[in-house]
Every structure is written in structure tokens, then in C-alpha cells.
Structure 1
Amino acid sequence: MFTVNKILGTAAIASAFFLLARAESHTVVFANNCGFGTPTLIQGPNVLSTGGAFTSNGPLDGAIAYLQTGGCGFNGEGCTLVELTLTNGFSSVDISLIPPHAFSVTSGFGYFDGCDGAGADCTNPNCPTAFFQPGDNNVQVGCPAANVNLAITFCD
């Protein structure tokens, strides 16, 4: 015979499995084809990766990535910047050349495991796929897929 505690315990276990199955996760990977520099992924004051794959167990909000060539500031100043927010429901990624950021190396990104083929490349200082002013929102590349991942490429 079931007791209230057994029923609640069973419900709690079922809820835990349901939540685990729906857990949010996003991975950022890098391809550095330049032959120099260090891919860098930062969120706030934290360095999340210096070239290895990084997996966020939950949303990855307000992160930035760039190729540290020795001339970049901690927040990518002086370099081509990839800005990213990966979150279930709507992710958004863009390339920024808004000063103090400036073109340093060819940089690009593409979603995978959802919104495959969506992305952008910046191959020169005048690339049309980059922010040059804060209002250039038309260059943001969005993705509504859950648990979408991102590949960032330098010099390709």
C-alpha cells in the first residue's frame, strides 16, 4: 500500500529525471587556423577557456571570444570580438568592431546541433557582418534552438 511519503518520494524522483532530461547545456569550440595566438573565451571577470572546448551547464550569457595575439586587452580591446549569449529559447551571436575593438584576424562563427549553417564571417576591416556602432543590430545572428552549440574560427 502506498503512503503519502512514498507517493511524494516517487514524484520527486520522476521530477528529477524530467529536469535532468531537459537540462540546458551549450558548448563553444574553437578552430585556430592562424598558426599563432590563443583563442580566449571570457564571461565577466572569468576566463572560461584558452582554446579548449567549454561547456556551460545552463545559459551562457554575455560572453566574449577573441584570438589573443599579444595585442588584445583583457576584454578584447584592439581585436576582432565575437559576442555571444547562448540560451534556450533564443541565442544571439555577433562580431564586433566597435571601438576600442578593431579588426585583427579573420574571425567567424557558426551554430551547430541546431540552426546549422547560421553564422557570420569577418574577413577584413570593413566586413558587413560586424557591428561598427552600438545600433547595428541587424548583424546579430539568432537561433531559437535549445541546447545549441557554437564553433568559432580564426583565420579561415
Structure 2
Amino acid sequence: MFFKLAIGALSAAVAFLQVNAESHTVTFNNKCGRGTPHLYSQTGQLLSTGGAWTSNGEALGLIAFLQTGGCGNNGEGCTLVEATLKNGGSAADISLISPHEFSVTSGFGYYDGCDGSGTDCTSASCPKAYRQPNDNFAIVGCGANNVNLAITFCD
């Protein structure tokens, strides 16, 4: 009898963890007709070259850009989308802090939570982008759990 109760309790615990597991997906929509979306982790690992990427847990310090042949390995010379996706405290922004610079129209938006929140950078003057390290107005936050992020180029 004890064995059956222990197995039952273990099964319930595993089911609870699976239901409450943190997960986030980053998707791309490249409307430019050229280039390849790149998504990197904070450790410099290439996570995606255009396909959807899903984390099993927090996704901290992500960077994304459209590699058109003129971008460095960390998106230098190109428009950069930065994101951290974590339950209760996701944040994303567009960075044009040197050595990053406007290359293509870029934008992002949250979905499956905080729908409609995001920003677009449509020109080199991009008023909603980071230009200096203290331009915190550029951050778009989201407090939803398991929120996802769509990044679009040339919209």
C-alpha cells in the first residue's frame, strides 16, 4: 500500500512540474527577401538561423539580427534586437548603440501574453531604440508567464 501511495505522489509531483514548466519561443518573419535571421544566446551560442527556437526555462540575454553579409558575429553594423524571456519579468528592446547601427527595418512583439506590446524601428532615426546605455525608455517589458516573442524584419 505504501508503495502505491509513493508512486501516486511521485506521479502527481511530476505532472505538476510539467504543467508549470517555464517555456518561451522566439519566431522570425523575414520579409526582406534577403538575409538570414540569427539568434544567439548570452554565451555566444547560435540558437537559430530563422527557424522557431524554444527554451525550456528562462532565455536570458538573447540577441537577434538579420545577417545580410555586413553584420559582425554579435550583430555589429546591424540593427539588434535584445531580449530576456522569463516568467514574471521579460524584457526586449532594439539597440543601435555603436557598434550597432540601422541596417533593416526591425521590430518585435510579444504573443501568448502581453499581446500588442512591442516596438518597431523603421529608419535610422528610430526614436524608440537604445542609442546610449541609459536609454531605458527603449525597454518593452512583459510580466506574463511563458510569453513568446516574434521578431520581424522589413515589415
Tell me which amino acid in the other structure corresponds to 2:28: F
Tell me which amino acid in the other structure corresponds to 1:16: V
Alignment correspondent of 1:85: 84
Alignment correspondent of 1:151: 150
Runs (4+) of structure 1 exceeding 2 A deviation are: 5-9
Tell me which amino acid in the other structure corresponds to 2:57: G
Secondary structure class of the residue paired with 1:130: coil
Tell me which amino acid in the other structure corresponds to 1:11: A
Write the mapping of 1:29-108 to structure 2, written as runs, cut at 5 A.
29-43=27-41, 44-108=43-107
Q: Deviations over 1:24-44 (max 9, x none)?
A: 111111011111100000012
- Using the TM superposition, give the Cα deviation of residue 125 of structure 1 relative to its aligned residue in structure 2, in angstroms: 1.0
Secondary structure class of the residue paired with 2:133: coil
RMSD: 0.8
- How many residue pairs match? The answer is 154
Q: Deviations over 1:119-144 (max 9, x none)?
A: 00001111111000000111100000
- Using the TM superposition, give the Cα deviation of residue 93 of structure 1 relative to its aligned residue in structure 2, in angstroms: 0.3
Question: Equivalents in 2 of 1:132, 1:83: separation in Å?
Answer: 13
Q: Deviations over 1:58-77 (max 9, x none)?
A: 11100100000101011100
Asked if 1:17 corresponds to 2:15, the answer is yes
Question: Equivalents in 1 of 2:44, 2:149: separation in Å?
Answer: 21
Question: Equivalents in 2 of 1:8, 1:130: separation in Å?
Answer: 54
TM-score if structure 2 supplies the norm length?
Answer: 0.97
Structure 2 unmatched runs, 5+: none
Question: Equivalents in 1 of 2:4, 2:73: separation in Å?
Answer: 53
Question: Equivalents in 2 of 1:6, 1:75: separation in Å?
Answer: 54
Structure 1 unmatched runs, 5+: none
- Using the TM superposition, give the Cα deviation of residue 23 of structure 1 relative to its aligned residue in structure 2, in angstroms: 0.9
Tell me which amino acid in the other structure corresponds to 1:36: R
Secondary structure class of the residue paired with 2:14: helix
Tell me which amino acid in the other structure corresponds to 2:154: C
- Using the TM superposition, give the Cα deviation of residue 13 of structure 1 relative to its aligned residue in structure 2, in angstroms: 1.2
Alignment correspondent of 1:116: 115
- Using the TM superposition, give the Cα deviation of residue 94 of structure 1 relative to its aligned residue in structure 2, in angstroms: 0.3
- Provide the identity percentage: 64
